[in-house]
């Protein structure tokens, strides 16, 4: 792979939650709609249609305020379980098209097409249009897709062509493409950082590009290195969830940061169910469980623990939950959580268990996997 051009696609489901609700109720189409909590409580907007956004409504806004801005706004409470089920199905479908796929969040995924140029007639920009049509035809969902040399630039580009757009940033043009864009397009430049930079005279990405990395470090500290690197067109081209014996991982970035530990534990178990099912499909067992946490201030930590080889959902989930207790030590909310399994061994290389109960449990897990494959992931759980 050394010296080979990377082709990373970022797929973003447009107004995903709203789009799912419109499939269920076509009367919602063309109207200002949000999926969110009740206005009578502390409900917030989880997803807003583009019609609602013209009224100044956006994600994480209190539902009560959204209704004040747009009195005829339609509020749907929605079902996170349904959204997750559809997201997983789309992920599985994308795995048939790309060698490596990463579900970055419930409504976003990255796909690595490096080395696939000949497979798709040396027209990957044309192929992402085909993917967009496939998502519309098979899932009835609108999406936008960007293709670039790394996933950071691909994500930035997607945000410029939403909704229902596709874009390709050719290799070597990243610097020029980014130059006229507002500094707010850079991941990590939120309102606070953006306001601070504008006070210093930085309005466009080109204003950052004209400085040295040291200049930006002096202004923003260590966080400035990332912002500078993105401004000149660099970013991560490493896609997770690789289907090999090195690791299997799943992570989820939340629409709203979470402090509720019970909710975090529930999400951990959902992630664990998915990756343990993948383990069993490959005939592997894991010896190492790693938990990843990203706080609201973007500080990311990982804690790992070695265990006896297993592919049992309950054992892996228990280990991950124990890691959560030791890892979640700050009072800030969590914006991302992930579980990663490594240090694999193949089941046929393991010694036969002396305990019939272990074999019985493996048979149960095999049956569970078959039921999930036929009727859906949420039809049955093995306990947590």
pLDDT of the residue at 31: 96
Confidence check: pLDDT of 380 > 80: no
Confidence check: pLDDT of 50 > 90: yes
Which of the pair, 48 or 192, is modelled with greater confidence? 48
Equal CATH topology for 16-80 and 248-379: no
Distance from chain centroid for Cα 79: 18
pLDDT of the residue at 247: 72
Angle between helices 151-161 and 223-231 (to 10 degrees): 70
pLDDT of the residue at 273: 86
The three-state secondary structure class of 29 is: coil
Confidence check: pLDDT of 243 > 50: no
* Strands of the sheet with 33-36, listed across from one edge: 45-48, 33-36, 74-76
Confidence check: pLDDT of 214 > 80: yes
Residues 18-39, mean pLDDT to the nearest whole number: 92
Q: How confident is the model at residue 383 (pLDDT cuts 50, 70, 90)?
A: low
pLDDT of the residue at 29: 95
The three-state secondary structure class of 49 is: coil
Within a 10 A sphere around the Cβ of 329, how many other Cβ atoms?
Answer: 8
Q: How confident is the model at residue 358 (pLDDT cuts 50, 70, 90)?
A: very low
Q: Domain 248-379 has what CATH class?
A: alpha beta
Confidence check: pLDDT of 365 > 70: no
Instruction: List, for residues 273-304, the tens digit of each pLDDT value.
Output: 888 887 777 678 888 899 999 998 888 888 98
* Active-site residue set: 108
Query: Over the chain, what is the mean pLDDT?
Result: 84
- CATH fold label, 174-231: DNA polymerase; domain 1 (1.10.150)
CA angle 157, 163, 165 (to 5 degrees): 55
- The burial class, CB within 10 Å (0-12 / 13-18 / 19+), for 19 is buried
Residues 42-60, mean pLDDT to the nearest whole number: 89
Q: How confident is the model at residue 379 (pLDDT cuts 50, 70, 90)?
A: very low
Where are the chain's structural domains? 16-80, 174-231, 248-379
pLDDT of the residue at 189: 86
Instruction: List, for residues 113-168, the tens digit of each pLDDT value.
Output: 988 888 888 899 999 999 999 999 999 999 999 999 999 999 999 999 999 999 99
Confidence check: pLDDT of 368 > 60: no
Give me the CATH code for the 16-80 domain, please: 3.40.1170.60
Which of the pair, 332 or 308, is modelled with greater confidence? 332
Instruction: List, for residues 62-78, the tens digit of each pLDDT value.
Output: 899 999 999 999 999 88
Q: Which helix (H) or strand (E) holds 109?
A: strand 108-112
pLDDT of the residue at 30: 95
Strand-strand pairing, 247-258 and 108-112: unpaired
Instruction: List, for residues 326-357, the tens digit of each pLDDT value.
Output: 899 998 999 999 999 887 765 433 333 333 34
How far apart are the C-alpha atoms of 251 and 377, rounded to whole Å? 17
pLDDT of the residue at 359: 44
Residue that is written with structure tokens 């992570």 in the block: 251
Confidence check: pLDDT of 362 > 60: no
């Amino acid at each position: 792979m050394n010296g080979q051009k990377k082709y990373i696609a970022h797929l973003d489901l447009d107004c995903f939650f709203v789009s799912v609700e419109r499939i269920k109720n076509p009367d919602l189409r063309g109207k200002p709609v949000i999926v969110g909590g009740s206005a009578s409580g502390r409900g917030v907007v989880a997803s807003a249609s583009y019609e609602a956004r013209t009224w100044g409504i956006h994600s994480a806004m209190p539902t009560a305020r959204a209704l004040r801005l747009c009195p005829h706004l339609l509020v749907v409470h929605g079902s996170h379980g349904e959204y997750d089920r559809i997201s997983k199905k789309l992920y599985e479908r994308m795995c048939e098209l790309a060698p490596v796929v990463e579900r970055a969040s419930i409504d976003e995924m990255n796909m690595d097409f490096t080395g696939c140029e000949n497979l798709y007639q040396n027209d990957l920009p044309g192929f992402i249009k085909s993917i967009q049509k496939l998502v519309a035809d098979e899932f009835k969902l609108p999406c936008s897709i960007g293709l670039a040399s790394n996933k950071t630039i691909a994500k930035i580009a997607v945000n410029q062509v939403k909704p229902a757009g596709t874009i390709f940033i050719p290799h070597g043009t990243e610097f020029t493409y980014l130059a006229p864009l507002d500094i707010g397009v850079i991941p990590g430049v939120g309102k606070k950082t953006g306001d601070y930079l504008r006070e210093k005279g930085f309005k466009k990405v080109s204003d950052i590009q004209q400085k040295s990395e040291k200049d930006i470090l002096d202004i923003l500290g260590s966080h400035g290195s990332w912002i500078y690197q993105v401004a000149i067109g660099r970013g991560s081209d490493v896609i997770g969830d690789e289907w090999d014996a090195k690791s299997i991982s799943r992570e989820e970035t939340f629409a709203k940061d979470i402090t509720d530990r019970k909710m975090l534990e529930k999400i951990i178990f959902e992630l664990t169910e998915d990756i343990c099912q993948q383990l069993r499909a490959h005939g592997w067992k894991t010896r190492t469980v790693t938990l990843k946490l990203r706080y609201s201030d973007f500080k990311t930590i990982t804690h790992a623990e070695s265990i006896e080889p297993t592919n049992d959902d309950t054992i892996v989930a228990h280990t991950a939950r124990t890691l959560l207790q030791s890892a979640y030590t700050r009072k800030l909310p969590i914006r991302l959580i992930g579980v990663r399994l490594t240090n694999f061994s193949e089941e046929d290389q393991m010694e036969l268990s002396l305990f019939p109960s272990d074999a019985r449990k493996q048979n149960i897990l095999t049956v569970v996997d078959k039921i999930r494959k036929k009727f859906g992931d949420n039809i049955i759980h093995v306990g947590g």
